Amino acid sequence: MKPTRRAPRWRQATKHLLAGLLIAGALVHGRAFAEAAGTASSPAGTAPSSKPTATTKPVSYAGVASPAPAATPTPLFTYYGVIREYYFGRTNGDTCLTCTPKGSPNATAFNSGGELHGQINIPHTPFALGATYFGAYPFGANWPGPLNNIGYNPEVDNSVPGYPLSIFGETYLQYKTAGTFFQTGKEVLKASMSPWTPPSDTRITPESFQGTLISTNPTPDLSIGAMYMARFRSRVTSAFNSNTLLTSCNVANPTGKGPVEGVKGTFTVPGDSCYKQETTYGFSEFSLGYIFGNTGLVANAYQYEMYNIASMTWLTAQYNFDKHSILNPFVSGHFFAENNLGTAVVGTVHNYTGGGLIGANVYHNVTLSVGYDGSPATRYVVPLKDCKGTPSAPASPSPGVIFGGVADTSDKNVPKGDVACYGGGLASPYTVGYTSDPLYTTSLTQGMPEVLKPGTAVKAVLGWQSDNRRIRAYASDAWYNYSLPGSIKGVGNGDARAEFDLDAWFYFNPVPTSGPYKGLSLRQRYGDRTQPFAPFEFKSSRTQLEYDF
C-alpha cells in the first residue's frame, strides 16, 4: 500500500483537542446524560431481549416512527463509551512451513481499546454534532518477534489487529425529527440501514464510512431511505480510503507476511486477505421497508450500486404467523442478485443467491432455527490467463478475470488456448473476511462471501437464555458444499466443508428489559472448521471482556 501522507500539524492538534473535549464533556456532564439520551447513536453494547425468541425485529430504516412527546428536553450533551479487552487465537491443522502443501503458523493477538462517543444536541433545534474516537493499544503483548507492533509477524493475528490504532471513526452533522433522519460526515452504519455494509464490530473497532444518508417514515408502516458513501475505513486501519475489502489489503501493512526464524520465505496467516489495490468510488443505496400491520409480515428491499464493482439487489421478508403462540414460529426468506458494474475492477460477477429460514421457541428459554442458502455456478469459456483458480484458491479479484473462477481443464471441447471456467461467487466488498453478511448460513469463521465461489449451505442454531437474561449461549452446526464440475490435472474440483461454533455471554450487572446494557460483560466464542485442503482443520478462540458506560 502507498504510505499515508502526514496530516498538517494544525489538523493533528484539532484532532487531539476534540478528543480532549469529548472526554472532558463526559466527565463534567456525568452519566445521567447518557441514560437520558434521546438522540445519540446506539451504543455498541445492547441488552438482550426480555424474552428469547427466534424472530428478528422488523427492520425500519429510520427507526423513528412517531413517538409520544418527550417528557423532558433533550440534554445538551450525551455520551457513551466502550472499553474492550480482546484476545484472539487461531490454530491450524497444518503448520508445517517446509511441507507440500505448505502450512501456516498458528497465530494469536491481544489488544485493548474501545470507543468514546459524544454528541452535542443544539438547543431548540433538531440538529446535533457528534464524534466517536476509536483507539487500541496492545501494550507490547504481541510477542515473539521484533516486528510485533508493525504488522509483519505471521504469528500475530492482525485481523484484531495486534498493533495500535487511533482514529476519529465518526464526525458528523445530524438532523433528526419524529419522521426524518439525516446524517452527513464520517459515520458507522447500522445493519438495519444497510445490511451489506454493517459495522462488523466483532474485534476492537467497527468499520465506518464517509458520506451522507437520509431516511423517512411517510407512514408508521413505511420506511424509505437513501445514502451515498464515498470512502471506507476498515476495522484495522486508521484512514478513510477510496477502496473496499475486495480492492485493497485488509490490513494496515502486508500483515502476516514475514520471516519465521529458521525457515526461509514468507508465509501468510489465513484471514489476513490482501487483494490487488484498486481505486473505487464508494457505493449508493436505496431502501424500502414495509410492515403489514399486525399480520406479522415484514418486507424490505435494498438496491446497491457498488461503483466499478457490482450492482446488487437484496430482498427480504419474514412472517411470524402465530405471534400469540408460546412457540412463536416464523419463516423468512431472502434473494440476492448481483452483476458486475462499470469497469468491473474485481472481474466478471454474476451471482444469484436464495435462502430460507425457519425457527421457533422449542422449549422454555430455548430457540431453534434452520437456514439454507444456495447459488448456482455459471460456466464460461475464457482465455486460460483469465481463469487460473483452483478449488483451494479461486481466482482473486482483478480486472478481466472471472471473479472466484475455478478452471476445468478436463473439458476438451473448448478452443485452443481457452479453458472452461466456473464462476458465480458472491462479491461482497464491505463484509468479505469479516463474516458479517446477512446470509442465514454464515458462521464464525466462514460464509459464502469469504469463499468467493457458488455453492449450497445449511446451518442449524440452538439458543438458550437464562430467566434473568444475564447468560446467553448459542451452538451452531453448518455444512457447506462448494464443489464445482470438472477437474484440474486429474484432481476433482470438490470442496465440502463443515463448521461447529459456540458463542456465550455473561452479564455481570442486571440486564434491563429495554435500552442499552451498562456494565461489565464477558463473551467467549469458539469455532472449529474442517475442509479438504490446507490448513485442513482450523480452530478459532475469541475472548472479549467489555465494559459499557
CA distance 269 to 262: 18
Task: Check if the beta carbon of residue 176 is closer than 8 Å to that of residue 184.
Answer: no
Would you state the pLDDT for residue 265? 56
Name the DSSP letter for residue 465: E
- CA dist 95 to 100, 183, 257, 272, 495, Å? 11, 47, 15, 16, 21
- CA dist 37 to 26, 90, 104, 217, Å? 13, 39, 48, 22
CA distance 265 to 97: 9
Instruction: Read off the C-alpha cell for 518.
Output: 451498562
Would you state the pLDDT for residue 106? 85
Is cis: bond before 69, omega within 30 of 0?
no
In a domain, 4, yes or no: no
What is the amino acid identity at position 184? T
In the predicted model, residues of the chain with pLDDT beneath 70 are 1-72, 97, 143-153, 250-273
Task: Check if the beta carbon of residue 246 is closer than 8 Å to that of residue 212.
Answer: no
User: Shortest CA distance to 450 belongs to which of 458, 459, 438, 442?
Assistant: 442
Beta strands, E only, 418-454? 418-423
In a domain, 1, yes or no: no
CATH of the domain at 240: 2.40.160.10
Cβ count within 10 A of residue 485: 14
Is cis: bond before 532, omega within 30 of 0?
no
In a domain, 214, yes or no: yes
What is the amino acid identity at position 530? T
User: Shortest CA distance to 208 belongs to which of 241, 169, 242?
Assistant: 169
CA distance 115 to 131: 10
Would you state the pLDDT for residue 406? 98
Domain of residue 289 covers 9-548
Strands 519-530 and 107-121: unpaired
CA angle (163, 169, 173) in 5-degree steps: 170
CA distance 79 to 81: 7
Domain count, the chain: 1
CA distance 205 to 86: 11
Count how many Cα atoms sit within 13 Å of the Cα of residue 371 in the half-sphere of its side chain: 25
In a domain, 310, yes or no: yes
In a domain, 423, yes or no: yes
In a domain, 375, yes or no: yes
In a domain, 2, yes or no: no
Would you state the pLDDT for residue 26? 36
Would you state the pLDDT for residue 58? 37
Instruction: Read off the C-alpha cell for 425.
Output: 461467487
